[in-house]
Amino acid sequence: MITCIREVRRAKGLTLQEVADRCVPPTTPQTIGRLETGTRTVSVSWLNRIADALGVDASDLVRLPDRADLPVAAILGHDGAHSPRREGVVVPPSASPGLVAVSVEAGIGDYRAGDEIWCERIVPGLFATALNRDVLLPRPSGRFLFGRLIGREAGKLHILPLGAGARQQVIADPAWAAVAIRLVRPL
C-alpha cells in the first residue's frame, strides 16, 4: 500500500512528535517515521489512528493510482507569494457518505453563481452544533430552505435566509439538516 502520510503531515505543518502525541493511544515519533517511509507496514488500524491524529479521512492517506494530488507551487502569506521550503501536495477533497451538495445558480449572500456548497447531514440531536452556520433544511413537497441557523428552541429552528431584506423563518422538527462544510468555487 502506497501512503502519503508524510505529505499530509507536512501540509498540516505537524512534526512527527506532534502526530505521535495525537495518536490514541500515543506512540513514538520513530514509529510514525517508519510508517511514513514504508519501513514498517501500515495496517488499517494504524492508518485509522494516524488519520484521526491528522484530522483527515483514512482514504486521504492512501495514494490511489487514479487520484492525482496537486503539487504546491507557492505559498501565499501576508507578505505575498513565495516558494515553499519543501515539497508539498494538496489532497483533493473526496466525497464521503452523508454529504449532499447545493449548486448555486445565481449569486446570493456570500455565494456566487457556479459555486458548489458541500454539506454534511446531521440528525436533530446535533442541530446545536450548527448554530451560526449555513444549513440546508428539507421542507414539505420536495422543497428546501438554505440559510443561517440563528436560533434553536423546543424543536424549532430559526433560519435567516440569504440575501438582503430576508425575513427569519421558523422550521419545526425537521428530520435532518445539512451543515455547509466546504465551498468549491471555480475562478
Q: Which helix (H) or strand (E) holds 33?
A: helix 29-37
Write out pLDDT tens, residues 98-111.
Answer: 889 999 998 888 89
pTM reported for the whole predicted model: 0.59
Question: In 3-state terms, what secondary structure has residue 10?
Answer: helix
Tell me the per-residue pLDDT of 135-170, one tens digit each, with 9 for 90 and over: 999 988 888 999 999 999 888 999 999 888 889 999
The pairing of beta strand 75-77 with beta strand 80-82: antiparallel
CATH code of the region 5-74+86-90: 1.10.260.40
Mean pLDDT computed over every residue of the chain: 88
| Parallel/antiparallel/unpaired status of strands 134-138 and 144-153 | antiparallel
What percentage of the chain reaches a pLDDT higher than 90? 45
* pLDDT tens digits for range 24-53: 999 999 999 999 888 888 888 899 999 999
| pLDDT score, position 64 | 63
Q: Which part of the chain is CATH 1.10.260.40? A: 5-74+86-90
**One-letter-per-residue 3-state SS of 8-63:** HHHHCCCCHHHHHHHCCCCCCHHHHHHHHHCCCCCCHHHHHHHHHHHCCCHHHHEC
How far apart CA 179 and CA 127 sit, in angstroms, is 9
User: Which pLDDT value is given to residue 173?
Assistant: 87
Q: For the domain with range 99-184, which CATH number is right: 3.40.50, 1.20.120, 3.90.1200, 2.30.30?
A: 2.30.30
Q: What is the pLDDT of residues 50-103, one digit of tens each?
A: 999 999 988 888 876 666 677 888 888 888 888 888 888 776 777 778 889 999
